[in-house]
Structure 1
Amino acid sequence: MPSSPPFAAAPLSQDERILAIAADHVRRHGIGRTTVVSVAREAGMTHANVYRYFPSKAALADAVTADWLRPLESELAQIADAPDPADDKLERMLLALAGSRRDRLETDPNLFDLFIAAHEANQPAVRKHRQRVRTLIERAVEEGIAAELFQVRRLERGVALVLDATFRFIHPPAVRLDRELPRRVVDERLAATVKLVLRGLKGGIV
């Protein structure tokens, strides 16, 4: 019996093609040298046609940022949905979040710069990303409280402890400031910080 043909990925829609091309241009040239005209030329359309999908270069850049962050958000959501104890979930989420920040700084510097620029300008993609991350962390802390694993008097104080203590490892500008530190050193400090956070949540210091 003949084998079935391999699954073929669905072709990209027009806006997905534009996004993929724009992301590639930012990777190679940086956002400052990426233009709607050059993206349109590679997509085989006029720049006016690009504006049908993205009304400005800023809107296109914001969409590139959102698309770039989506796999990380999916990974964090999978961890949050797993049937693991809350402390394990929280540790895995923080390590994944901080690890992704550092990975992308090292392997995708121009898109990381775009991310920081969007962060500093408080662009919609970054606002939504920040809220999604906070919501997932809040879920893990809340589960720990419900299971009496975390001795936290107020949920918002527990979440604040997590975010404040790990700020250096997850806040994009802070991550870039540590660019010259060896990855091994950063990872060791992160692991120690996460252990202290979990100890604080379990010990009821907030």
Structure 2
Amino acid sequence: MKRPLGGSLRIAEAAPADTRLLTIAADQLKEFGPKHITVVGIADAAGMTHANVYRYFANKAALIDAVAGQWLRRMEATIADIADSPDPADDKLERLIQAWARIHRDLLKEDKHLFDVYCSATETSRPLIRKHRSRMRLLIDRVLDEGIATAKFDPRDREKAHAFVTDSVYRFINPLTVRLDAEVPQDILDQRLATMIRVILRALANGSV
């Protein structure tokens, strides 16, 4: 039996209020979905009045977007770790793309409701998505620039090279297309992604983009 939305779960008071609210909202979002959680229920679980929630988040939609933004920042941190690693640029780009795709697929499997929020935010190009795209662009550009500096990559046009990378793996990194592929076996998706990565690395190395 599911517990009530405003159940007895309490997050340790030592945590900052906004952190506690995000943790509770993430848990309730995962269990009940965005339509069935309320600011009142989240506030009750945090041991505060709903008026206090509005000190940190303008409304329920802003709180839910903040949960999605928190997940996006964790993904960006994982990608940044790869971009900052000491590996050769071509190896880093391969691992970066693989991690980017895997993280999307894992979220789809593990937290469908948050994935749906991510899809909705992507469809409407909400601010958290625009910021996320900008940060991801910087990480990819960092690896491309390193590859150019070390002669691993020799693109004719850096901007076109970036577009070629993201366009080539669009199916694996856009939540809308990832959701469309939900029933495709993972081994098949892995094979298709591996093929695209080989194409990308070859094109960057031989200057065909």
Counterpart contact for 1:87–1:198, Cα < 8 Å: yes
Spell out structure 1 runs of 4+ moving beyond 4 A.
none
Q: Name the structure 2 match of 1:197.
A: 200
How far 1:145 moved relative to its partner?
1.2
Q: Which structure 2 residues correspond to residues 9-158 of structure 1 after superposition, within 5 A? A: 11-158=14-161
Q: Which sits farther off after the overlay, 9-18 or 85-94? A: 9-18
The aligned amino acid for 2:198 is: K
Work out the CA distance in 2 between the residues paired with 1:169 and 1:49.
40
Counterpart contact for 1:166–1:193, Cα < 8 Å: yes
Counterpart contact for 1:62–1:124, Cα < 8 Å: no
Equivalent position SS for 2:54 = helix
From the superposition, tell whether residues 200 and 10 of structure 1 become closer, same or farther in structure 2 (CA, over 3 Å).
farther
Q: Which string of whole-angstrom CA distances, capped at 9 and with x for unpartnered residues, describes residues 47-95 of structure 1?
A: 1110011111121111111111222111111111111111011011000
Gaps of 5+ in 1: 1-8
Question: How many residue pairs were aligned?
Answer: 198
Q: Name the structure 2 match of 1:187.
A: 190
**Matching of residue 178 in structure 1 with residue 181 in structure 2:** yes
Work out the CA distance in 2 between the residues paired with 1:147 and 1:85.
8
Aligned-residue sequence identity (percent) comes to 51
- Structure 1 length as normaliser, TM-score? 0.92
Work out the CA distance in 1 between the residues paired with 2:68 and 2:15.
18
The aligned amino acid for 2:100 is: L
The aligned amino acid for 2:151 is: E
The aligned amino acid for 1:125 is: L
Q: Which string of whole-angstrom CA distances, capped at 9 and with x for unpartnered residues, describes residues 146-196 of structure 1?
A: 212111021111100100000000011000000010111111111111111
Work out the CA distance in 2 between the residues paired with 1:99 and 1:18.
28
From the superposition, tell whether residues 12 and 155 of structure 1 become closer, same or farther in structure 2 (CA, over 3 Å).
same
The aligned amino acid for 1:110 is: H
Work out the CA distance in 1 between the residues paired with 2:52 and 2:162.
44
- Structure 2 length as normaliser, TM-score? 0.91
Aligned-pair Cα RMSD in Å: 1.4
